[in-house]
Structure 1
Amino acid sequence: MTQIEKARDFRALHRPGDPLVLYNVWDAGGAEAIARAGAPAIATASWSVAAAQGFEDGQAIPFALLLGIVSRMAAAVDLPVSVDFEGGYAEDTDKLQDNLRQLVRAGAIGINFEDRVIGGSGLYPLADQEARITALRHAADREGVPLFINARTDLFLEARPDGKPAALIEEAKTRAAAYAAAGADGLFVPGLTDADLIGALCRDIETPVNVMMTGDLTIGAATQAGVSRISFGPASYAAAMNDLAARYRALNLAG
């Protein structure tokens, strides 16, 4: 498939009640393994990509290194590859657009783009994040690729442990509408695990909703709630590393 065909296929995989399930990977080998297992698309998780190269999450991995990893993944599989772009590795919108162009040219057909201020505190003001999403949309359009921009809001991750997620739903809806108007194609709500609240969000916004498997949330409950996309974030990396360590311990070299 061409990159444009992959982008169109990826968009079509987002179906409410029949969600795209993405088991996030961090390198070309993982992409190939998931592809052989029957996955319809590939997605990275920023935490996992960084950790696999010895970096902390939060844009600590050099962008040039990330581009190389994405390029190898896109070359290794004939599937759509969506990339966790974090905050775009830039504040300035010109630099943001340049980074996006490089990512698309490396083979990406989709991105996660978050509203958390990386290296700062809190979330970007709504107008600022709208402008950032609009800049990305314009850059992707100029590349001629119908990039799927999955706008991530960290509202539910930023909430205090004793906070009530229900109180944040209206703000999430407001951000979803603003992000969609700016050019986003979906809303990613990591940290929201209450199936009833997820269902309310799915019913009240127009864009596909993406949840992450954390807490007590299950694929079945998320599907019933009407989500269009399910991802696992760093959980797949943690499971793989735990398995690797367990296999080494099972060698009983000390005995």
Structure 2
Amino acid sequence: MADQRSKYHAFRALHDRAGAFVIPNPWDAGSARILAALGFEALATTSAGFAFSIGRRDSSAALSREAILQNAGSIVEATDLPVSADLEDGFGADPASCAETISLAADVGLVGGSIEDATGDPGNPIFDFGLAVERIAAAAEEARRHPFVLTARAENFLHGRPDLDDTIRRLVAFEEAGADVLYAPGLPSLEAIRTVCSSVSRPVNVVMGLAGQTYTVKELEAAGVRRISVGGSFARAALAGMMSAAREVKEHGTFTYSTHAMSAAEAASYMLDMKR
């Protein structure tokens, strides 16, 4: 098994090389092993995909830090690939909580993770600018004590605040506070993505698979994007496949879905034998 430091260096190298790379988002160990077998070079957890798998909504209120890190740890153990984690809002409003979350994330073998500036409060969805920056600064200081790539997320566009100027202001400040990667999910256009990428000097992550416009890897790369994730969209695609099969059985009493299902032998080929 690759050790944590070698995974960290491999992960950093992906961000430093020319072009963009795709970092897909497994929601459990099994999906992680399948994605690794397909040849992806790194993985990132998805809080949404994990939440759906345990019958919860995606929110920091529904998912504890312990549960998120336990899920992330199972993904780390499933492959030799570098794994970054969706660490929600750092599981606490204060900067110290964000720092502690980074430390605990490194302890389970993660070599990266993201902290967002969303509060989880519908009445006040985004942390005030000053506190948001302090939170990233504390997380970055802790990240430097570990083999850990910190991603800072500006969440305006996911919470009804389509303010590109403020989003860029936050990302610039997060970069200055020590974040290694910058991320503003939900940007409305390729031009907005290009503007964000040209406004900062650190690698930018963009998520695909959300509702709305989609772009190719080549288009995103040309806009300056260095890393492309898919969030919970692979998990939702898997759920859509199950729903389609279940509806066929319930509504028509037929089982033709099985002709399109992955064979048991192929599924097993991706998984580990457990020693007894």
Write out per-residue CA displacement over residues 22-60 of structure 1, whole angstroms, 9 at most, x where no aligned residue. 221111111111000101001111111111111111111
Q: Which residue does 1:20 correspond to in 2?
A: 21
User: Could you say what secondary structure the match of 1:149 adopts?
Assistant: strand
* Whole-Å separation in 2 of the counterparts to 1:24 and 1:222: 18
Map of 1:139-154 to 2, 5 A cutoff? 139-142=142-145, 144-145=146-147, 147-154=148-155
Which range moved further: 128-137 or 89-98? 89-98
Q: TM-score, normalised by structure 1?
A: 0.89
Post-superposition shift, 1:93?
A: 2.9
Residue 129 (structure 2) pairs with residue 126 (structure 1): yes
5 Å matches for 1:195-214? 195-213=190-208, 214=210
Q: CA deviation at 1:221?
A: 2.2
Out of 233, 237, 242, the residue aligned to residue 235 of structure 1 is: 233
Report deviation, 1:152: 0.8
| Structure-1 separation of matches of 2:6 and 2:188 | 33
Given the two structures, how large is their TM-score scaled by the length of structure 2? 0.83
Q: Which is higher, the Rg of structure 1 or of structure 2?
A: 2
Aligned partner of 1:254 in structure 2 is: 253
Provide the identity percentage: 32
1:225 counterpart residue number = 223
- Show the 5 A alignment for 1:35-54: 35-54=36-55
Kept in 1, the 8 Å contact 2:136–2:179? The answer is: yes
CA drift of 1:9 comes to 1.4
Structure 2: how far apart are the matches of 1:39 and 1:153? Answer: 26
Answer yes or no: is 1:90 the counterpart of 2:86: no
Residue identity matched to 1:187 = L
Contact 1:16–1:227 (Cα < 8 Å) also in 2: no
Give the letter aligned to residue 124 of structure 1. Answer: F
Counterpart amino acid of 1:199? Answer: R
Report deviation, 1:113.
1.1
Tell me the CA shift for residue 251 of structure 1: 5.2
CA contact under 8 A between 1:25 and 1:237: conserved in structure 2? yes
Amino acid paired to 2:253? A
More off after superposition, 71-80 vs 240-249: 240-249
- Contact 1:25-1:45 at 8 Å conserved across structures: yes
Q: How well do the aligned residues superpose, as a CA RMSD in angstroms?
A: 2.0
Aligned amino acid, residue 122 of structure 1: P
CA distance in 2, matches of 1:81, 1:132: 22
Quick check: 2:102–2:113 contact (8 Å CA) kept in 1? no
Instruction: List 4+ stretches of structure 1 deviating above 4 A.
Output: 249-253
Aligned partner of 1:193 in structure 2 is 188
Extract unaligned runs of 5+ from structure 2: 255-276
Aligned pairs, how many?
Answer: 247
Relative contact order higher in (CA < 8 Å, ≥ 6 apart): 1
Which residue of 1 is the match for residue 213 of structure 2? Answer: 216
CA distances 1:132-178 after superposition (whole Å, capped 9, x unpaired): 11211222233x32x11111111222336xxxx5xx33322221221
Q: Deviations over 1:96-117 (max 9, x none)?
A: 3222211111111111211111
Whole-Å separation in 2 of the counterparts to 1:108 and 1:133: 18
15-24 vs 208-217, greater mean Cα deviation: 15-24
Structure 2: how far apart are the matches of 1:16 and 1:226? 13
